[in-house]
């Protein structure tokens, strides 16, 4: 390009540099804003997943908002969930409200009580959420025996002056009657979601199944005759009708067998409304009783009872969370109207509304930053056109086409814009890396549910943002480029610029 000896580049260079710096700052703000928005979404959703995963299946007929009514999981529809291609895993859970009070002998003056909702899980140790947010103690191991160890929030522990391994008294309501149980604090967790931390505690699912009296569990006993030739087996449950392996349901609660032979009895216990109607109240329990003649030993199989086939609900983790609403509709068709099927969005509607509001702010910021980038680069291009007015006149006098002239300035503007976008992305990456490593940007956890600003780098979203923003800015710069084609050659050559 031709130089004007009078002005050289002293006139345009500072303006061009300032414009590029403006684009750098604008692009970095856009990328960081998107990074923070995605970080907030993922961090808070990750915390919510422990309380209500991607999709929950519960009974439509809930007697209490803080408790789950039992559903029978002994059917093919529930078994097939673990094999569906779009489901990562499905597990049982239950909610049960209670009042808890400290039993710490050193804390007798504190008689405060707190309400809590116990969430029963099949496995506490395999729960990735609990592993992440337990700050003291550990998740209790769940085995065939019912575990009375719980995981309580830090907020509840502070209110009741509780520490690890302290005992608490828990008061439940079951079948209209209060029940007191002693539990042990085995772990303390904190998520920062104060509204949820203040409500939930975690416990073995089998414990809640037992408290709620879901299903039937046979309680057998036996005694030998005086000469040890006969064993008398009996069932100590009330209102139980038995099938002692002969396909006959009877109210006889005992049977006698000889000790001279090895014997195995498949006992089925039915909880019926009465002997005539024989209407089942719960799923029957099957207990296998074996007697070995030589060792004179009695063993039982299938001890847990039919309560294991009841659950408050099924929570589902999906492989692709974006498809959760479509999968929910499919599950509704499959399970029918007797089940309530909800997504995580519906379970925590307030928090998700707040997260969506953050994205609205992101769109506003992105729009403003794009406008700033367009104005900056358009001004810089206009300055270049004004500075090169005489050069434009000479080129037009030599016969250059308007399209070629527009192409020169558009290419120059695109090059300057590229410098701004590259610099802006580099600056944004540096900010994100520093924040993730040193966490120097802090937040009020009470208001934002997080103590530091979360930043992630969603490559695909940022790449799409850069491409569309660059194209939009580049097309917007065509307007000042068109001005160069309208300059009169005679006036341009005679100009003092």
Which among 361, 440, 449 is positioned nearest to 33, based on CA atoms? 361
**Angle, helix 402-438 to helix 349-387, in steps of 10 degrees:** 140
Q: How far apart are the first and last CA of the chain?
A: 15
By three-state DSSP, how is residue 165 classified? Answer: coil
Neighbours of 9 (CB within 10 A): 11
Strand order in the sheet with 254-258: 220-224, 230-235, 254-258
Q: How far apart are the C-alpha atoms of 237 and 298, rounded to whole Å?
A: 20
The two tokens of residue 250 are 């009877």
Q: What is the pLDDT of residue 332?
A: 92
Q: Are 453 and 435 in contact (CB under 8 A)?
A: yes
CA atoms within 13 A of residue 409's CA, in its CB half-sphere: 31
CA angle 467, 472, 477 (to 5 degrees): 125
Task: Write down the pTM of the prediction.
Answer: 0.77
Do 32 and 431 contact (CB within 8 A), yes or no?
Answer: yes
Contacts of 174 (CB under 8 A, 6+ apart): 211, 212, 213
The stretches of 125-184 forming alpha helices (DSSP H) are: 128-133, 154-159
Query: What angle in degrees, to the nearest 10, is found between the helix axes of 349-387 and 459-476?
Result: 40
User: Which of these, 229, 290, 296, lies nearest to 263 by C-alpha position?
Assistant: 290
pLDDT by 10s per residue, the chain, length 497: 434 444 445 556 787 788 788 889 889 989 999 999 899 888 888 788 766 689 999 998 877 778 899 999 887 788 888 888 889 888 899 999 999 998 876 655 556 889 999 999 887 766 777 778 889 988 887 777 788 899 999 999 999 989 998 999 999 988 788 899 999 999 999 888 888 888 999 999 999 999 998 988 898 999 998 888 899 999 988 878 899 988 888 888 899 999 889 999 999 998 887 767 678 888 899 999 999 988 888 999 887 889 889 999 999 989 888 889 999 999 999 998 889 999 988 888 888 888 888 878 888 888 888 888 788 777 777 776 666 666 666 666 667 776 777 777 778 778 888 998 999 999 999 999 999 999 999 988 878 888 899 999 999 999 999 999 888 888 877 776 666 566 656 555 555 55
How many Cβ atoms from other residues are within 10 Å of residue 128's Cβ? 11
Which among 302, 277, 278, 300 is positioned nearest to 289, based on CA atoms? 300
Nearest to 473 by CA among 364, 362, 409, 377: 377
């Amino acid at each position: 390009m031709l130089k004007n000896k009078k002005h050289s580049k002293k006139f345009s260079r500072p303006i061009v540099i300032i414009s590029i710096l403006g684009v750098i700052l604008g692009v970095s703000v856009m990328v960081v804003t998107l990074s923070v928005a995605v970080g907030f979404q993922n961090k808070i959703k990750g915390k919510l997943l422990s309380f209500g995963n991607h999709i929950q299946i519960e009974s439509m007929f809930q007697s209490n908002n803080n408790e789950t009514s039992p559903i029978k999981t002994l059917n093919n529809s529930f078994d097939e969930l673990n094999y569906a291609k779009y489901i990562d895993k499905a597990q049982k859970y239950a909610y049960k409200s209670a009042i808890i009070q400290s039993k710490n002998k050193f804390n007798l003056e504190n008689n405060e009580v707190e309400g809590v909702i116990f969430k029963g899980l099949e496995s506490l140790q395999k729960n990735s959420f609990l592993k992440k947010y337990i700050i003291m103690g550990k998740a209790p191991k769940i085995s065939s025996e019912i575990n009375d160890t719980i995981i309580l929030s830090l907020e509840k522990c502070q209110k009741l002056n509780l520490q690890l391994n302290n005992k608490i008294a828990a008061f439940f309501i079951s079948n209209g009657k209060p029940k007191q149980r002693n539990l042990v604090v085995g772990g303390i967790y904190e998520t920062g979601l104060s509204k949820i931390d203040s409500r939930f505690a975690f416990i073995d699912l089998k414990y809640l199944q037992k408290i709620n009296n879901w299903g039937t569990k046979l309680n057998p006993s036996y005694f030998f005759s005086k000469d040890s030739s006969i064993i008398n087996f009996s069932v100590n449950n009330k209102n139980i009708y038995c099938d002692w392996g002969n396909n006959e349901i009877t109210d006889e609660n005992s049977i006698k067998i000889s000790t001279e032979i090895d014997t195995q009895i498949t006992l089925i216990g039915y909880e019926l409304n009465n002997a005539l109607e024989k209407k089942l109240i719960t799923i029957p329990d099957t207990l296998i009783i074996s007697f070995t003649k030589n060792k004179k030993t009695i063993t039982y199989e299938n001890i847990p009872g039919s309560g294991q086939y009841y659950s408050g609900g099924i929570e589902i983790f999906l492989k692709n969370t974006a498809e959760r609403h479509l999968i929910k509709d499919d599950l509704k068709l499959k399970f029918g109207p007797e089940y309530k099927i909800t997504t995580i969005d519906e379970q925590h509607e307030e928090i998700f509304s707040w997260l969506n509001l953050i994205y609205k702010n992101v769109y506003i910021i992105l729009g403003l930053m794009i406008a700033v980038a367009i104005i900056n680069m358009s001004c810089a291009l206009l300055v270049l056109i004004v500075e090169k007015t005489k050069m434009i006149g000479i080129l037009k006098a030599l016969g250059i086409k308007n399209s070629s002239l527009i192409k020169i300035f558009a290419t120059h503007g695109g090059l300057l814009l590229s410098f701004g976008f590259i610099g802006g992305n580099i600056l944004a990456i540096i900010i994100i890396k520093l924040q993730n490593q040193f966490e120097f940007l802090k937040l009020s956890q009470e208001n934002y549910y997080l103590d530091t600003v979360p930043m992630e780098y969603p490559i695909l979203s940022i790449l799409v943002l850069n491409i569309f923003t660059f194209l939009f800015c580049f097309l917007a710069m065509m307007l000042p480029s068109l001005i160069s084609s309208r300059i009169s050659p005679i006036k341009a050559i005679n100009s003092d610029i």
